[in-house]
Structures are given as structure tokens and as C-alpha cells.
């Protein structure tokens, strides 16, 4: 009889602990959004500053700009320029890049000379990556924490090398440019939200240069469309979404009951210097307020779930619950 009671109590305790753990999870995306989107721009072309950046800024959007260090402030001549009969496509200057970085845009590494890393090894590979890191850090003051592969050429070995000391790299993308239509892009966003996915777009030229839009209005309409969906869609630079997703996947939560409600301990095991983006806890109980390290946290609610943004490297999170 005692053994039966012991097993019964153990089973009930296991069920209680499982139920408790299910009350608090890490939301798929920051702020409890259903999906995420990172806008990325390649090569540091001038009209990304003169045309795209003002449109992003007017909408309060932050994007990622992968630059080629050796081409900053000069004119690039691509196959597209030859086809268009132009002398080349100008690139942004360091002053322009500093301005965008100060506004919260991500300025990141797209190779010192835009050389395919899969064709390099040893010192040539190291130089292609590190020379651009150093130039960006020297001229902008921030060392890049992501990497865009020139020509999207990569391998398991080169990804491992290029991601050293970073939150990650751009390993997939959807090109935005001459082939895209407003209808296609509307469906693309709908599918991201419906499937709960993270989309990454890649744009080169806007009105000039490689794969530029036939009509830039297609891009401006796309920006309007995604802005209208921000209650469902988290739009953030590649560095932020990459960090969040890796923190989410690495997170181990310990949830305990206390007199006031729930006490949550978060452990990721990741490098705290690189991985410090706030995580969003999804709490399936009636929350009065939440606190971490003596600071009250903002709590938002939707469809019966409370969302709390927390420091993944901070102290325990106290979630006070309403009791009826």
C-alpha cells in the first residue's frame, strides 16, 4: 500500500511539474510575434543610402547592410552595369555608413574584396574576412557580428570559419530585385506569418546596379505592407533575429512556484558578450506583473497569453500572478 501511495505521489508531482513548466516558455520570436523578417542589402551601393535608407528611416525600420571594405567610396562595375551601358555603380562612403550605424542600421561584413570564401583557404581566407572586420570596426566603431557570403557561396567548413566570434551568418535568403512583383511579395509575407517562419531578403541595386528593380516602388510598397503587419511580424536586422533564435533554441528554463506566483531561471550557456538580445517569455497564466533584477518588466497580453521581455543573462524572473 505504501509503495502504491509513493508511486501515486511521485506521478502527481511529475504531472504538476510538467504542467508548471508548460506555463512558461520562450516565445518563437521577440515580442510574441508569429514570424520574423530581416531585410538585408548587399555590396554597400550608393542608392541603398540615397534611396532605400530614407524609406527605411521614415518607417522606423532597421535593416542589415553587408559592405565590401575595399569598395567603400569607389565605383563598382558589374555585369549589370555593362548590360545597362553605365560606367559603374557608386558605393557608399564611410561617413554615410557611420550615419546609418548611428541610426541603428546594421553594418556588416560582405568580404574585403567580395571573393567567394569557398575558393580561399589559409591566409587568403583569413584576410578576406578579418580585413573587412577591422575596417568596419576602425571606421564605424562596431565590430560585425554577422557575415554575408559573397555570391552566397559557402560550405560547412567556411561557415564554421566565418561564424567564429559572431552570432551567425546569412545562410539563406530571398532575392528582392528585378524579378519581384508586389503580388509575389505580399504572398511571401503571408506565407511567413502563416508558417511561423523567419524570412531573410537580399537586395542589391535599387534604381541602378546589379539586379536593380524595374520600378523601386515595388520595394516601397513591400515596406508599407510589412509595416502594416508588425503586430504579427518582427522586423529586425539579421544580427538581432539570429541572436534571438539561437538564444531561444539554447534556453533551459527552470520554473518554481513561490508565494507571489512563479520564479523563472534562464540558462542558455551561450557567450554573454555576443548573445544578449532580450528573450520573450510566453506565460499561460494570469499575470499581474513581472520583475527581474529589481526592475519591473513590461507585460503585454494577447489571446490569453502574457508576454514578458527579459534579459537572458540576468537574474531570476519573478512573475506575480493574479489569484482568484
Q: What tens digit of pLDDT does each residue of 281-307 get?
A: 999 999 999 999 999 999 999 999 999
Give dist(CA 17, CA 182) in Å, integer: 49
Flag residues of the chain having pLDDT under 70: 1-21, 323-324
Residue 2: exposed, middle, or buried by beta-carbon count in 10 A (0-12, 13-18, 19+)? exposed
Give dist(CA 60, CA 54) in Å, integer: 10
pLDDT at 185: 98
Q: Which residue has the cell 548587399?
A: 42
pLDDT at 269: 97
Helix (H/G/I), strand (E/B), else coil: 44: coil
Closest CA to 284 of 7, 75, 20: 20
| Max intra-chain CA distance, the chain | 91
Give dist(CA 47, CA 30) in Å, integer: 30
pLDDT at 7: 44
Written as nine digits, the cell of 70 is: 575595399
Cross-strand partners of 301:
306
pLDDT at 198: 98
pLDDT at 291: 97
Q: Are 101 and 92 in contact (CB under 8 A)?
A: no
Closest CA to 308 of 263, 246, 274, 273: 263
Helix (H/G/I), strand (E/B), else coil: 47: helix
Give dist(CA 100, CA 157) in Å, integer: 32
Distances in whole angstroms, Cα of residue 227 to Cα of each of 29, 40, 188, 232? 17, 16, 14, 10
Give dist(CA 324, CA 288) in Å, integer: 12
Amino acid at each position: 500500500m505504501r509503495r502504491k501511495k509513493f508511486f501515486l505521489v511521485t506521478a502527481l508531482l511529475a504531472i504538476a511539474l510538467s504542467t508548471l513548466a508548460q506555463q512558461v516558455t520562450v516565445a518563437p520570436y521577440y515580442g510574441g510575434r508569429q514570424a520574423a523578417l530581416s531585410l538585408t542589402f548587399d555590396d554597400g551601393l550608393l542608392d541603398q543610402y540615397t534611396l532605400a535608407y530614407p524609406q527605411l528611416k521614415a518607417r522606423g525600420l532597421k535593416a542589415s547592410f553587408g559592405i565590401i571594405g575595399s569598395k567603400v567610396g569607389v565605383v563598382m562595375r558589374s555585369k549589370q552595369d555593362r548590360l545597362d551601358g553605365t560606367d559603374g555603380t557608386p558605393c557608399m562612403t564611410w561617413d554615410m555608413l557611420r550615419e546609418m550605424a548611428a541610426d541603428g542600421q546594421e553594418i556588416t561584413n560582405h568580404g574585403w574584396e567580395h571573393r567567394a570564401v569557398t575558393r580561399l583557404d589559409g591566409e587568403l581566407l583569413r584576410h578576406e574576412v578579418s580585413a573587412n572586420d577591422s575596417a568596419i570596426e576602425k571606421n564605424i566603431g562596431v565590430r560585425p557580428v554577422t557575415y554575408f557570403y559573397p555570391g552566397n557561396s559557402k560550405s560547412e567548413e567556411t561557415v564554421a570559419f566565418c561564424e567564429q566570434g559572431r552570432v551567425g551568418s546569412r545562410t539563406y535568403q530571398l532575392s528582392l530585385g528585378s524579378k519581384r512583383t508586389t503580388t509575389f511579395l505580399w504572398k511571401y509575407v503571408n506565407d511567413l506569418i502563416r508558417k511561423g517562419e523567419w524570412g531573410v531578403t537580399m537586395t542589391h541595386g535599387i534604381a541602378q546596379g546589379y539586379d536593380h528593380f524595374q520600378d523601386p516602388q515595388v520595394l516601397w510598397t513591400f515596406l508599407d505592407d510589412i509595416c502594416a503587419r508588425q503586430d504579427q511580424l518582427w522586423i529586425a536586422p539579421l544580427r538581432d533575429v539570429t541572436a534571438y533564435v539561437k538564444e531561444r533554441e539554447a534556453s533551459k528554463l527552470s520554473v518554481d512556484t513561490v508565494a507571489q506566483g512563479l520564479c523563472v531561471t534562464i540558462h542558455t550557456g551561450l557567450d554573454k558578450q555576443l548573445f544578449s538580445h532580450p528573450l520573450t517569455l510566453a506565460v499561460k497564466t494570469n499575470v499581474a506583473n513581472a520583475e527581474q533584477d529589481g526592475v519591473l518588466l513590461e507585460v503585454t497580453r494577447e489571446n490569453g497569453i502574457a508576454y514578458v521581455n527579459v534579459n537572458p543573462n540576468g537574474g531570476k524572473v519573478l512573475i506575480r500572478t493574479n489569484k482568484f
